[in-house]
Chains A and B, each alone.
Chain A
Amino acid sequence: NAGVTQTPKFQVLKTGQSMTLQCAQDMNHNSMYWYRQDPGMGLRLIYYSASEGTTDKGEVPNGYNVSRLNKREFSLRLESAAPSQTSVYFCASSKTGDWSTEAFFGQGTRLTVV
């Protein structure tokens, strides 16, 4: 039972480069989320997808785009990376979007922008 799988686990980018973070879940969950985690800031929501075919901005969406490719996959794209986007990124999913049930998290992607 894989749960939520993120790739890559580590990435170093140069300023201005682009990349896509991949996330897939095998639990048939409806809702998926992208967070970033920075020291002293806790978790901040970047984008979420309440259900297949929908996406919405979270707390810190600037500089990011997302695609809900199908029910399983939710990708996060950085079009032109900046040092301020150095962070640990987590994908999460939940069965129901109202968070009355638990969320499952991936292992994280540690991104450094130089």
Chain B
Amino acid sequence: GNSVTQMEGPVTLSEEAFLTINCTYTATGYPSLFWYVQYPGEGLQLLLKATKADDKGSNKGFEATYRKETTSFHLEKGSVQVSDSAVYFCALGSGGSYIPTFGRGTSLIVHP
């Protein structure tokens, strides 16, 4: 079956540091890949997505590239801000399946 593995958190960084949150997956076929963000007290919202191999999703300075050869979709940002403090979820959607697969989430804490 499908699965998503994320690095465990919390990840603690100083403002303006470089961020990487690792995500690897197993899936049949050619899934779509997503990163969702959950700010404190809120629901999840889509941060970025990629629907085929070598696609790069980007939004708000965050980027992730769909790497089929390494089955990865790592999230990166060059310079984090305090306002980026949140929980980040990697997820995949597999064509024909009504049940998406989420990673367990990685908490990011950014200090001034």
Contacts and interface: CB of A to CB of B under 8 A. Distances in A.
Contacts of A90: 43-44
B96 interface: yes
Q: 3 nearest interchain CB pairs?
A: A99-B93, A42-B104, A105-B43
B43 A48 contact: no
Contact of A98 (B36, B45, B97, B102): B97
Interface residues of B, number: 24
Nearest to B102: A43
B98 A100 contact: no
Contacts of B36: 105
**Dominant secondary structure at the B interface:** loop
User: Chain A interface: which size bin?
Assistant: 20 to 34
Contacts of A107: 42-43
Contacts of A48: 98-99
Nearest to B47: A102
B58 interface: no
A45 interface: yes
